[in-house]
Chain A
Amino acid sequence: MTQLALQHYLAVGAILFAIGLIGFMTRRNLIVMFLCTELMFQGVAINLIAFGRFWGNLAGQAFVIFVLVIAAAEASLALGLVVLLFRQRNTLDADAWRDLKG
């Protein structure tokens, strides 16, 4: 077995991102969809950390901290919105919200 190299981390990041993207497209529960976007963010975070380690500078890690901040801001917003929607329809199914069509 060889040591873990950059591409292994990148593969994990890309797989997480892909799982998140596929989940976002296929799942209909709002909270699960939100978790899928979080997965995509975490995949990117792994990429950034691995690249930062590879290049030996701190920019990647600094970027990750900001990514986490944005993810936290979006999490608070998402949960607020989800609670708001749940109160109106008593369901978290995204298909229950189809008033807007064109």
Chain B
Amino acid sequence: MPPLLEAMLPEVILAAVACVLLLMGASPRAAMRRAVPWIALIALAVVFVYQLGRGDRNDTLSDAAGTFRVFHLAEYIKMLAAGIGMLFVLLAWPNDREATGNPALNFGTEAGEFFALMLFSIAGVFLVAGANDIILLFLGIELASIPTYIMVSISRPIPAAQEAGVKYFFLGSMAAAVMLFGFSYLYGTTGLIQLHEIGERFRAGAATPLGATSLSSWQTLAVLMLIAGFAFKIAAVPLHFYAGDVYQGAATPVTAFLSFVPKTSGMIALIKLLYVAGGNSWAEPVTVQKLIWILAVLTMSVGNTLGLLQFNIKRVLAYSSIAHSGYMLVGLAALTSAAMPITQDNALQGVLFYLAAYGIMNAGAFGVLMLLPARQQRSWSGAVTPALPATSAETFEDIAGQGRRHPVLGLAMAVCCFSLIGLPLTVGFFGKLYLIKPALDGHLYGLVVIMMINAAVSAAYYLKIVATMFLRPEPEDGASHVEPAIPTSMPIRAAIVLSVFGTLLFGTIVPATQLLINQVTPAAQLEAPTSRGTPTATASR
């Protein structure tokens, strides 16, 4: 197999299958639409198994020009995104006979397009993970983002979804322009477009006594604008403002998708950028170190504080998603300010582990919401909701008392919420542990204290969700008596079971956690050790 094809095989599979799905979506037959999610699921499963089998490969796959480089980090991200992507396909599974949607989501007859867009977006994350070139990195981020704009807009036939889609699109394209401006100056100040070459150039210019790279002011401007663009993707404060509206307006499965896929692409791009800005190491300029520290504090604190004030559970989960980005930024802060290589490795492992943990535990929480019906016919700004509700539980009234009526769902939600808090015996606990430990090793005591306070604050709203489900009485407005029975959607249940199972498995059984760590450990190396340990050999080009 040619090296480029071998390196890009997962992307090629997903993109090819997505094109087939687009064609199938044009078919008028319902049988075609019913086959669509199966094909999407199988494609992701194939990629997942393929990546699992590649876990212990130790070579760098690259094309001749070095535009695309696949090493452990990319292998791990591909495995993770394909695996979590299967959960999202299950969550979005259409369960009516015409295959036009599920109770929380309605894509009309566009099932083919919807799942194709999902696969394109995941392929975009793969590209970001493998990109070694600023052009490809930009294209990967846009490939991960643009399909999500469409998915938000077509997810529900109500104005709120379209409003969310438009907001997301306009702000997203503005963020893309800011990011591009940064890319243009990154290219302009070096004349290079390959990430590792730019890193070498930055290292060659580094001569500060502390060992950190010192960028020129234009280069610093480029790095700051790129961080701003990526911060939008991971919904870091102050670029978080879209998250609440978009997550609320989009259908619940799309919200779950948004909280993982674009965020992963932004996080990986940010990691790559920091590696470049440090001159192919993590020795960042002081400005960048401080910026990441401030971003982490703001993102955690604002996300959790606003999460306390919300009435809509999807908004609560949106702000919780912002807060979780903040926790990952704590890992990045430890990565950029720790001096010891071992601490830096641990910090990056912590971030990558947290991505996996967040993906696993978050899908279950959204899945439970999808299986609970909405109680009232809310009118969005007076407009009458169309006949297709395409709405599942959204507010605290919707889930009040549902935990007693459906104890299993209530327990599943409780497990996911406990994991999101970070209580022991769940994967979220280990996620937080692996983020805090390197931060302590890097002497970021203030940051750790702020993170612990934030985790405590976040417990308030997660416990409010659980308490509402079990303790609050069901509303007596009569609407609850005519509420539809819970649709018995097997795929959504399967996704919840997988999510809860993963949360508990990786949280309670130490060998399983160890298994996940073993996947993460090599992924913390961005390059093959040969080129990493010998700076002079590669810097001489």
- Identify the A interface with B (CB < 8 A): 10, 13, 17, 20-21, 24, 30, 33-34, 37, 40-41, 43-44, 47-48, 50-51, 54-55, 57, 59-60, 62-63, 66-67, 70, 73-74, 77-78, 81-82, 84-85, 88-89, 97-102
Contact = CB atoms under 8 A, between A and B. Distances in A.
A55 B187 CA distance: 10
A33 B170 CA distance: 8
Interface of B: 134-135, 138-139, 142, 146, 149-150, 153, 159-160, 162-167, 169-170, 173-174, 176-178, 180-181, 183-185, 187-188, 191-193, 244-245, 248-249, 306, 309-312, 315, 380-381
Given A37-B177, A88-B159, A51 B166 contact: no
Given A78-B173, A99-B381, A60 B165 contact: no
B184 A100 contact: no
Contacts of B150: 77
A63 B163 CA distance: 32
Given A17-B181, A44-B180, A102-B245, A66 B169 contact: no
A81 B169 contact: yes
B162 A20 contact: no
26 contacts: A21-B177, A21-B178, A30-B166, A34-B170, A44-B177, A48-B188, A51-B184, A59-B187, A60-B187, A60-B188, A63-B135, A63-B187, A70-B138, A70-B176, A74-B169, A74-B173, A78-B170, A81-B149, A81-B162, A81-B165, A84-B153, A97-B163, A99-B160, A100-B167, A100-B245, A102-B306
B193 A63 contact: yes
Given A62-B135, A100-B164, A24 B193 contact: no
Contacts of A51: 184, 187-188, 191
Nearest to B194: A59
B188 A88 contact: no
Contact of A73 (B146, B159, B160): B146
Contacts of A47: 181, 184-185, 188
- Interface-centre pick from B150, B174, B177 (highest chain A CB count, 10 A): B177
B180 A102 contact: no
Given A51-B188, A66-B135, A17 B166 contact: no
A59 B39 CA distance: 38
Given A17-B181, A47-B184, A99 B174 contact: no
A84 B249 CA distance: 16
Contacts, number: 131
A17 to B, nearest CB: 6
Contacts of B135: 59, 62-63, 66
B177 A41 contact: yes
Nearest to B186: A51
A27 B164 CA distance: 19
Nearest to B315: A102
A99 B173 contact: no
A100 B248 contact: yes
B139 A48 contact: no
A67 to B, nearest CB: 6
B166 A81 contact: yes
B96 to A, nearest CB: 24
A9 to B, nearest CB: 10
B222 to A, nearest CB: 11
A59 B138 CA distance: 14
Contacts of A30: 166, 170
Contacts of A37: 170, 173-174, 177
A48 B177 contact: no
A81 B173 CA distance: 13
Given A50-B188, A102-B312, 17 more contacts: A30-B170, A37-B170, A37-B177, A40-B180, A44-B181, A44-B184, A48-B187, A63-B138, A63-B183, A67-B180, A77-B169, A85-B163, A97-B159, A99-B380, A100-B160, A102-B306, A102-B311
Contacts of B176: 70, 74
Contacts of A48: 184, 187-188
A86 to B, nearest CB: 11
A55 B245 CA distance: 44
Contacts of B153: 81, 84
Given A51-B188, A84-B162, A88-B159, A24 B310 contact: no
Contacts of B311: 102
Contacts of A50: 188
A17 B159 CA distance: 32
B173 A100 contact: no
A73 to B, nearest CB: 6
Contact of B163 (A54, A60, A99): A99
A44 B192 CA distance: 16
Contacts of A21: 174, 177-178
- Interface-centre pick from B170, B173, B191, B381 (highest chain A CB count, 10 A): B173
A10 B183 CA distance: 14
Q: Give the top 6 A-B pairs by smallest Cβ distance, nearest first.
A: A40-B177, A55-B191, A51-B188, A100-B245, A47-B184, A44-B180
A10 B249 CA distance: 40
Contacts of B315: 102
A100 B378 CA distance: 13
A7 B133 CA distance: 25
Nearest to B142: A70
